[in-house]
Amino acid sequence: MIGQIRSRQPRASKLLKLGVLRAGFALGGRFASRQTVECAARLFATPYGSSRARALAIQADDEMERDEIVTGEQTIATYVWGDPRRQPYALLVHGWSSFGLRFLPWVAHLRRAGLAVVAFDQPGHGLSSGNLCTLPDFINTTLVVGRRYGNAALAVGHSLGGAAVTLAQGESWHAERVVVVAPAADMAAQAARFMRHMWLGEHLRERFFGWHERTTGINVNDLEVRRYLAALGQPCLIVHDFDDHEVPWGDGELYARHWRSARLLTTQGLGHHKVLDAPDVIQAVLAFIRGERVGERIVASPNLPYGLA
């Protein structure tokens, strides 16, 4: 009984803090909109502190080499297995408020598949420097790390990292094969969900998006992934759980409809986070690397929103 009471206390404390924040944003949105938007937008761009704590708690294997890349004002922590300058390599890109070694269960499998492996912590995450982080930061950092080692044999991204991997593909760097797990598809929709969750009024939407554009130099509508998918030709495997309550399954289905060489593997009952650790998912990715057919091809037309092929 005592253990149950203690386990409920942290949850109750979090709910209380959330309630106070929501009330503050709801009132502030009416009487001090500029300051409220500034505060809410910075909160939206601030990773959870647990990212750093979890990264520090991970015990990596002896083969891993820890390094750093300095880019602009940021120092990016990297984790390398093998020699990605000489071997084909896999670049692993974590999601929001996560960290590079979150992919540790994948490493031994990828090494046995003949790949060197590179993971890293995004700005404000894990052991990297910084406090704020946005999708443009995710994309730019992915490019900085990728260009250091050259084009990748495989790139894997989870959640916001999936969007970053996708939007990083181009002439200066690309991966021969791409895997996105529970990928986010629409930055504006994500921001709108955050605003509803925090009780920010719809009348603050443009100001909220304006903060993002002033901070990053990029209009949030230009980060809609669908705009860029038709230009991508390399094979892609999208993995998305039907019961994902953080990034809707429809986001992954959208990737599959518009990326002409993509296939969609749908899981169920794993949610947003466990899908990344699931042994069946890792085995499916290994089969994809070997060139085997995994998942379903999604087709679309003006008269058929989507279907299986």
Q: Which pLDDT band holds residue 198 (cuts at 50, 70, 90)?
A: confident
The β-bridge partners of 296 are: 264
Q: Tell me: the pLDDT tens digits for 76-99? A: 999 999 999 999 999 999 999 999
Q: Which pLDDT band holds residue 9 (cuts at 50, 70, 90)?
A: low
Q: Tell me: the pLDDT tens digits for 266-291? A: 999 999 999 999 999 999 999 999 99
- CA nearest neighbour of 255 among 238, 234, 273, 277: 238
> pLDDT value at position 92?
98
Q: Which residue has the tokens 């379903």?
A: 296
- Quick one: average pLDDT of 23-34? 82
> pLDDT value at position 67?
95
The β-bridge partners of 266 are: 240
Q: Tell me: the pLDDT tens digits for 220-274? A: 999 999 999 999 999 999 999 999 999 999 999 999 999 999 999 999 999 999 9
Q: Is residue 2 scored above 60 in pLDDT?
A: no
Of 279 and 3, the one with more pLDDT: 279
What are the φ/ψ torsions at residue 59 (nearest 5 degrees)?
A: -100, 110
Q: Which pLDDT band holds residue 42 (cuts at 50, 70, 90)?
A: very high
Q: What is the pTM of this model?
A: 0.90
> pLDDT value at position 17?
80
Measure Cα distances from 124 to 96, 141, 208, 297 in Å.
Answer: 10, 12, 21, 36
DSSP per-residue codes, the chain: -HHHHHHHHHHHHHHHHHHHHHHHHHHHHHH-HHHHHHHHHHHHTS--THHHHHHHH----TT-EEEEEEETTEEEEEEEES-TTTS-EEEEE--TT--GGGGHHHHHHHHHTT-EEEEEPPTTSTTS--S---HHHHHHHHHHHHHHH-SEEEEEEETHHHHHHHHH-SSS--EEEEEEES----HHHHHHHHHHHTT--GGGHHHHHHHHHHHHSS-GGGG-THHHHTT--S-EEEEEETT-SSS-HHHHHHHHHH-TTEEEEEE-S-TTTHHHH-HHHHHHHHHHHTT---SB-EE--SS-S-EE-
Sign of the alpha-carbon dihedral angle for 159, 70, 57, 6: negative
- Quick one: average pLDDT of 139-158? 98
Q: How many residues does the chain have?
A: 309
